[in-house]
Amino acid sequence: MAQVHINLNALKNAECPQCGCPFFETDVCIYKKLPAIESPTGKAQMIRLALGRCADCGLIVLPKEDTLQAVSIERTDVEQDEA
């Protein structure tokens, strides 16, 4: 059985583009509303985007290929910092 062994210690950590912190909380996501008119099925639906939140500065990032992309979300009155 062919197996690829990856030495995790040799891989670079992805870091927060804002503060350089390598730790992220992953229990974060946003839901995008896809209107029926733009939906391939013709029905409105939600698209879930799994995100990471920097453990240090709280920046929300979206993993994309080999980089972490900062996601700027316009928050209204919802503040989800429970700390």
Considering CB under 5 A, how many residues would be counted as binding Zn ion? 8
How many other CB atoms sit within 10 Å of the CB of residue 61?
A: 21
8 A C-beta contact, residue 63 and residue 73 = no
- Residues of span 7-26 touching Zn ion by CB under 5 A: 16, 18-19, 21
Rounded Cα gap, residues 18 and 61, in angstroms: 10
Six-digit token string for 23: 């730790």
Smaller CB separation from Zn ion, 25 or 38 = 25
Stretch that binds Zn ion, among 22-30, 42-50, 51-59, 69-77 (CB under 5 A): 51-59
Stretch that binds Zn ion, among 7-15, 26-34, 44-52, 58-66 (CB under 5 A): 58-66
Minimum CB separation from Zn ion for residue 23, in Å?
Answer: 9
Rounded Cα gap, residues 38 and 33, in angstroms: 10
